[in-house]
Amino acid sequence: MKIISYNVNGIRAALKKGLIDWIDSTDADVVCFQETKAQPEQIDNSIFEDLGYNYCYWYSAEKKGYSSVGIISRIEPNHIEYGTGIDYMDKEGRNLRADFDDVSIMSLYLPSGTNDARLDYKFSYMDDFKSYIEELKQKIPQLVICGDYNICHEAIDIHDPVRLKTVSGFLPAERKWLSSFLDETGFVDSFRKLNEDVIQYSWWSYRANARANNKGWRLDYLLVANEIEERISKSVILPEAKHSDHCPVMLELK
């Protein structure tokens, strides 16, 4: 199974930049989107169905044009779970899960900490999300959590770890949380498992020509439950896709 995760920073804008042709070229089985910034009725599923993605699911924030996630699939899921059941989290449309026979795939968009209030919100969200996943894994151990975590885990994941250590996304407490999530909840960072020393990023600011100068951050992850870790055959970042300030990440499972 080939899985792609992509923060498109507005799916309607990305479609105007050639997203659909790019998806067609990937031959992915499942594509997870984050930050679609659209309500379901604003997305034309037929353009995905024409490529063989007959199963399209969207989970949107209450606030129009904000956050929101989606999953498109060539394979019919056994079940779709919209949200987490935690009210304040679900109002922002940040979690959507598709359950298949031998794997469950979640599209996740963790909040960013753009100011003090949102940073507090982010930490509350992370703590509640961790508890949610700990419980979920008891029922669904074969879990893959794809998405934009808005955290660079290690110094190798950010272009300037010294000067950016006080910026949200690379704060020591955020990095510590991601470590604890991996270790205590039982997941592996699939990209880092197969690419131990590779320096690659998945997000670049639109400012100061950051992408051309490769001054980026690795914020997008494909976390695989330890129970199915041996099925990881490939995990890569795809910087050639330029429909967003992020680029997609891709995972192949045996």
pLDDT confidence bin for 253, thresholds 50/70/90? very high
Mean per-residue pLDDT for 66-79?
98
Question: b/e for 177-197, b at 16 or more Cβ within 10 A?
Answer: bbeebbeebbbbbbbbeeeee
**Overall number of domains in the chain:** 1
Options 148, 157, 189, 220, the catalytic residue: 148
Question: Is the pLDDT at 66 greater than 90, yes or no?
Answer: yes
Residue ranges of alpha helices (H) inside the chain are: 11-16, 19-26, 46-49, 87-90, 116-139, 172-185, 190-194
Beta 249-253 vs 2-7: how paired, if at all? antiparallel
Mean per-residue pLDDT for 176-196?
98
Q: Give the domain range for residue 154.
A: 2-253
List the CATH number of the domain containing 60.
3.60.10.10
Mean per-residue pLDDT for 45-66?
98
> What is the average pLDDT value for the chain, to the nearest integer?
97
Burial class (CB in 10 A: 0-12, 13-18, 19+), 224: buried
Residue ranges of alpha helices (H) inside 152-231 are: 172-185, 190-194
Please give the backbone phi and psi of residue 179, each rounded to the nearest 5 degrees, phi first.
-60, -45
Question: Is the pLDDT at 6 greater than 90, yes or no?
Answer: yes
What's the rounded Cα separation, in Å, for the pair 171 and 97? Answer: 28
Kindly state the percentage of the chain with pLDDT values over 70. 100
What's the rounded Cα separation, in Å, for the pair 51 and 93? Answer: 26
pLDDT in tens, 215-239: 999 999 999 999 999 999 999 999 9
Is the Cα dihedral 31, 36, 41, 43 positive or negative?
Answer: negative
**Residue 29 annotated among the catalytic residues of the structure:** no
Question: Is the pLDDT at 104 greater than 90, yes or no?
Answer: yes
Question: Is the pLDDT at 116 greater than 90, yes or no?
Answer: no
- Counting every residue written for the chain, the total comes to 254
Question: Which tokens is 14 given?
Answer: 């990305």
Mean per-residue pLDDT for 194-198?
97
Question: Is the pLDDT at 153 greater than 90, yes or no?
Answer: yes
Packing angle of the helix pair 172-185, 116-139 (nearest 10 deg):
10
Mean per-residue pLDDT for 127-147?
98
Residue 114's pLDDT is 87
